């Protein structure tokens, strides 16, 4: 079906599990083991089983939005394998699927290797919106996704160096404390590339002091509900 949909722009996959290149060859035909979807812009993957090797089997040269949610992982190493798969250059395009992303949402991706997480962020040079979901429906995102950013941003504070995620404009945050949110916003501002928009999940219980501080340090601060959690088009930039 996908092979017959070269004009597909949006794709949502549920419970896909690990993918084997060998297992797909028969329905792709001959030696053409990589399926390229040149028109795809938005990809959502939500699964209980980490999609190991998925990005080896497909090429998305024009992907701009990726949502990756792993509801449950039997082994933390599975999350690291998925992240390494994301980083690996596609044989079809010669670059990682991450390199063209403007929006990324990650939930439940457990990767305790800080160097690998840093590699992901270093590849996301065009990213404008980052959604970090630390605790939705049993999806636990490893703390490294937060710590790698704050550590690097703090290390270059007030220096003439480029931060990780140099084009970042907006943050969508789920499951972080008000203290952590403030720290994230503050250290980013110290790099002279502040985030301008912050969206927080409505079930996050923020103290009034934290809400007031965030409102006064960004251009836009809003809560979003479970419906808008998946609606990327709801979040727009203030240029």
pTM, full prediction: 0.85
Q: What is the mean pLDDT of residues 24-45?
A: 68
Tell me the pLDDT band of 2, cut-offs 50, 70 and 90.
low
At 33 the pLDDT is: 72
Max CA pair span of the chain: 62
**Is residue 187 scored above 60 in pLDDT?**
yes
Give how far Cα 86 sits from Cα of 31, 221, 228, Å.
23, 31, 26
Which range has highest mean pLDDT (94-98, 101-105, 110-114, 203-207)?
Answer: 101-105
**Is residue 234 scored above 50 in pLDDT?**
no
Q: What is the mean pLDDT of residues 49-61?
A: 80
At 145 the pLDDT is: 94
Domain ranges for the chain:
2-229
**Is residue 237 scored above 50 in pLDDT?**
no
Q: Look at residues 127, 111, 107 and name the one whose alpha carbon lies nearest to residue 173.
A: 107
Tell me the pLDDT band of 226, cut-offs 50, 70 and 90.
low
Helix-then-strand count for the chain, H and E: 7, 12
- Parallel, antiparallel or unpaired: strands 170-174 and 197-201: parallel
Report the range of poorest mean pLDDT among 1-10, 28-37, 49-58, 108-117.
28-37
Burial of residue 239 (number of CB atoms within 10 Å: 0-12, 13-18, 19+): exposed
At 7 the pLDDT is: 77
- CATH for 2-229? 3.80.10
Q: Where are the alpha helices (DSSP H) in the chain?
A: 21-28, 54-57, 76-87, 114-123, 144-155, 178-189, 208-217
At 232 the pLDDT is: 52
């Amino acid at each position: 079906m996908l092979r017959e949909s070269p004009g597909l722009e949006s794709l949502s996959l549920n419970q896909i599990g690990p993918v084997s290149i060998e297992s797909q060859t028969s329905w792709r035909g001959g030696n053409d083991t990589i399926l390229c979807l040149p028109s795809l812009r938005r990809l959502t993957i939500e699964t209980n089983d980490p999609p190991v090797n998925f990005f080896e089997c497909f090429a998305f040269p024009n992907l701009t939005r990726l949502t990756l949610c792993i509801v449950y992982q039997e082994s933390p190493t599975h999350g690291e394998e998925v992240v390494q798969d994301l980083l690996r250059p596609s044989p079809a395009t010669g670059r990682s699927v991450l390199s063209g992303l403007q929006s990324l949402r990650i939930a439940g991706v457990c990767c305790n290797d800080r160097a690998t997480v840093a590699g992901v962020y270093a590849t996301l040079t065009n990213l404008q919106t980052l959604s970090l979901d630390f605790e939705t429906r049993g999806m636990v995102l490893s703390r490294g996704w937060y710590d790698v950013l704050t550590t690097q941003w703090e290390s270059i504070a007030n220096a003439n160096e480029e931060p990780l995620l140099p084009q970042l404009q907006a943050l969508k945050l789920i499951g972080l404390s008000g203290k952590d949110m403030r720290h994230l916003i503050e250290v980013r501002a110290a790099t002279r590339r502040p985030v301008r928009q912050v969206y927080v999940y409505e079930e996050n219980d923020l103290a009034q002091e934290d809400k007031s501080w965030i409102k006064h340090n960004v251009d836009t601060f809003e809560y979003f509900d479970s419906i808008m959690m998946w609606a990327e088009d709801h979040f727009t930039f203030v240029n």
